[in-house]
Amino acid sequence: MSDAAPQTDRTYESAVGRLEEIIARLDSGEAELRETLALCAEAKGLIVFCRDELTEVSGALTELGLDDLVESLDAREP
């Protein structure tokens, strides 16, 4: 029933795409009770995956110190 890529091949973009498919299916009103339950469970896993990806990328961006670089460049402007 799930069209989600295996976790090892999953990307943030593919997870968001699958979430959009799930939302469309749920919004259609055509999903039966058990399918709705399965879709909600899959969506929860995808949301957790996306959250973790965003957290990891955010941490990596912070480590790059881009905010500090922007501040130092702004301070140099006349």
Reported as a single tens digit per residue, the pLDDT across 37-63 is 999 999 999 999 999 999 999 888 888
Helical pair 66-76 and 33-64, crossing angle rounded to 10 deg: 50
For residue 6, pLDDT over 70 is answered with no
Alpha helices (runs of H) in 29-65, residue ranges in sequence order: 33-64
Looking at the whole model, is its pTM more than 0.85?
Answer: no
8 A C-beta contact, residue 46 and residue 18: yes
Total number of residues shown for the chain: 78
Mean pLDDT of all residues in 18-39: 98
pLDDT level of residue 78 (50, 70, 90 thresholds):
low
